[in-house]
Structure 1
Amino acid sequence: MTVETHPLIPVARSLADDLLAPRAAEVDQGTVPASHIEAIRRSGLLGVSAPKQYGGAGAPDSVAREIAEILSGACCSTWFVQTQHHTPVRMLAKSALPVRERLLRPLATGELLAGIAFAHVRAFPKVPVRVTPERGGWRFDGTVPWYTGWGLNDVMLLAGVTDTDEVVFAFTEAREQPGLTPSAPMRLAALTASVTVSLELDGLWLPDDAVVLRTPQEKFALVDLPRNTNASPAVFGVAYAALGLLAGAGEEEAAGALRGRLDEVRRQVYELAEHPVPHERVAERLALKTRAYDLMRAATTAAVVARGGRAMDLREPAQRLAREGMFLLVQGQTVEVRRAHLDALAEI
């Protein structure tokens, strides 16, 4: 079965064409509606990478990447809310701890939607969230700077670092509770609709059976490396959507030239993503990631230029895609990624 013939691909395209793209401008100026989340729950897309024996599709990563491109190009805010879900699913699928049997099936089937609250762990040796053993469980204290999907997610995957530099990942309900207080939703230059908040943790206690993974920080950093050094499929999704606008404005030649270059970078990025040792060839991954950023920026800029003054209307998709592209430049950014990107920009 090829990527295009996988049954979830037409499901994603139908969802994008019939629901997400027609309402993207409206969502951009408001909030991802519960009806969008409900449609994604029913679609089966939340289980794309989950094991079949738990109700998922067990699809290869190539299918998951294609779906991410389709959704992000249609409505990046909706894509961003649902994309948080897939890391907890993958982590549960690899876990042998009791929480797997409690949560993997409802997450794989879309009964529950998960968010993530662990990007701050990448700031190590800074420790924004400290975890301490307490009463047969774990106490979390500190600040989660970013948490997306507040009010839309059912559960969150939270992480912090112990005094011995061990990273503890545990699940809790995505709601205000003793020891967990959300901020007001943030007003962002792009993806405000994703309902992103910060979380103040002051003695949040989670039982030991909520834990899905405990791992040394060094090991986590190694496993986490490809998540940040590989270009996100959303970069290509937004870029291709912008090229569609460019061609629709009568600039087929410019769109075709950019598409050819984007296709080649995409091919190289995904080929490297399938490399059997995911933490190798980091310099090459970063070079391709920055090249993908360049092409996304060119595509979204070209769409704005082609639309002219009309692009400044907030209802216009060209400027929305340009703002979404700006967001993707810093999404999941690490010090290493920032340095590589800035160095590449300095050579332009």
Structure 2
Amino acid sequence: MTSHFLVSRARHLADGLLAPHAEQVDQEGVPASHIEAIKRSGLLGVSAPVAYGGSAAPGAVARETAEILAGACCSTWFVQTQHHTPVMTLAKSELPVRERLLGPLARGELMSGVAYAHLRAYPRIPVRVTRERAGWRFDGTVPWYTGWGLNDVMLLAGVTDADEALFAFTEAREQEGLRPSDPMRLAALTASRTVSLELAGLWLPEESVALRVPYAEWAKTDRPKPTNASPAVFGVAEAALALLDEDTSGPIRTRLDNVREQAYVLAEHPVPHDYLEERLSLRTQAYEVLMAATTAAVVAGGGRSLSLTSKAQRLAREALFLLVQGQTAESRRVHLKALADRP
């Protein structure tokens, strides 16, 4: 645990707003008022450069605040967590869009979503980008886009004819060449306002581009990211353990603390490509502890756990969501093998 002021703000937000309304949000959707509170808190700039209004906080602070938010209201956490990839993309960019958007995003004046996970389907290309006029044309389907109606802008990606990964910003609204589906009904996190996006000739100017690199180069930097255990897994597990008596929660908490400590040591390792198998193994172990904690909470709640107003039941569904959130073919392989090898 850290004493950073953003950790205190996250706890205040979690205890005063997010957790008390989590069951209602789960059924009705993340309200704009939750997002406005996140924007005001400074948490959207947790990792952003100080020169642009962010806090440039250590990784440990970013992980702890994520745990706190996810444990309080996983749907709200999931909407706002999309924002941090655009911020860090801009922080590393040397293109003009950095000066236009990094400050507003770092200060929480704007919130961004992301539409890039489909890049991991390569060599299949769900979104194709082609040169058109003094800009770029996007065509295809974004299978998942979270925070529709809550985000101000989005970071959209596709693959060019030259096999480049190209990322560009656009407003997060229906416009010529961009049409959202109806909100998806999901077993968990329906509240996150997730849609698919149909792109049919969406044109974006050159000055909207934040990153353009050979796909292989982007994939090399992206590959380590989904191998680490998500702080949200630990946050939801902690929330479930809080519903149990000490005799039941104690042994599970010991496992949780052990896996978290090992996972976070690797998260701090200066070479993100090192220890990939160990990272994937710890990610799988974190899921096992998460399922133990949330299952125990459901069992302890008995029949009451089947009610949609039950916190234990909500956490159990959120755990199912986290099993596949950020999943890649590699992480799926390791997880399935661990399940098959279990005695």
Quote the Cα distance in structure 1 between the aligned partners of 2:312 and 2:216. Answer: 41
How much has 1:214 moved relative to structure 2? Answer: 0.6
The 5-angstrom pairing of residues 109-258 of structure 1 reads: 109-246=107-244, 251-258=245-252
Instruction: State the one-letter code of the partner of 2:121.
Output: A
The 5-angstrom pairing of residues 1-348 of structure 1 reads: 4-246=2-244, 251-348=245-342
Quote the Cα distance in structure 2 between the aligned partners of 1:222 and 1:318. Answer: 39
Quote the Cα distance in structure 2 between the aligned partners of 1:264 and 1:216. Answer: 39
SS of match in other structure, 1:215: strand
How much has 1:332 moved relative to structure 2? Answer: 1.2
SS of match in other structure, 2:28: coil
Instruction: State the one-letter code of the partner of 1:33.
Output: P
How much has 1:219 moved relative to structure 2? Answer: 1.3
How much has 1:195 moved relative to structure 2? Answer: 0.2
Quote the Cα distance in structure 2 between the aligned partners of 1:223 and 1:190. Answer: 30
Q: CA deviation digits over 1:157-186, x for unaligned, max 9?
A: 000001221000000000000000000000
SS of match in other structure, 2:54: coil
Quote the Cα distance in structure 2 between the aligned partners of 1:157 and 1:147. Answer: 10
Q: Aligned residues: percent identity?
A: 71
SS of match in other structure, 1:188: coil
Instruction: State the one-letter code of the partner of 2:130.
Output: T
Quote the Cα distance in structure 1 between the aligned partners of 2:54 and 2:183. Answer: 32
SS of match in other structure, 2:56: coil
Quote the Cα distance in structure 2 between the aligned partners of 1:252 and 1:61. Answer: 30
SS of match in other structure, 1:245: coil
Q: CA deviation digits over 1:254-285, x for unaligned, max 9?
A: 20110011001000000001111101211111
SS of match in other structure, 2:223: helix
Unaligned 5+ segments in structure 2 are none
Q: CA deviation digits over 1:175-200, x for unaligned, max 9?
A: 00000000000000000000000000
Quote the Cα distance in structure 1 between the aligned partners of 2:276 and 2:89. Answer: 23
How much has 1:225 moved relative to structure 2? Answer: 1.6
Instruction: State the one-letter code of the partner of 2:16.
Output: D
Quote the Cα distance in structure 1 between the aligned partners of 2:212 and 2:247. Answer: 52
Instruction: State the one-letter code of the partner of 2:314.
Output: R
Deviating above 6 A after TM superposition, structure 1's stretches of 4 or more consecutive aligned residues are: none
Instruction: State the one-letter code of the partner of 1:112.
Output: L
Quote the Cα distance in structure 2 between the aligned partners of 1:219 and 1:275. Answer: 21
How much has 1:111 moved relative to structure 2? Answer: 0.5
Q: Alignment RMSD, CA only? A: 0.7
SS of match in other structure, 2:113: strand
Quote the Cα distance in structure 2 between the aligned partners of 1:45 and 1:317. Answer: 25
Quote the Cα distance in structure 2 between the aligned partners of 1:91 and 1:172. Answer: 14
How much has 1:226 moved relative to structure 2? Answer: 2.1
Q: CA deviation digits over 1:221-256, x for unaligned, max 9?
A: 11112220001100000001100111xxxx211201
Quote the Cα distance in structure 2 between the aligned partners of 1:61 and 1:166. Answer: 29
Instruction: State the one-letter code of the partner of 1:314.
Output: L
Instruction: State the one-letter code of the partner of 2:266.
Output: L
Quote the Cα distance in structure 1 between the aligned partners of 2:270 and 2:6. Answer: 25
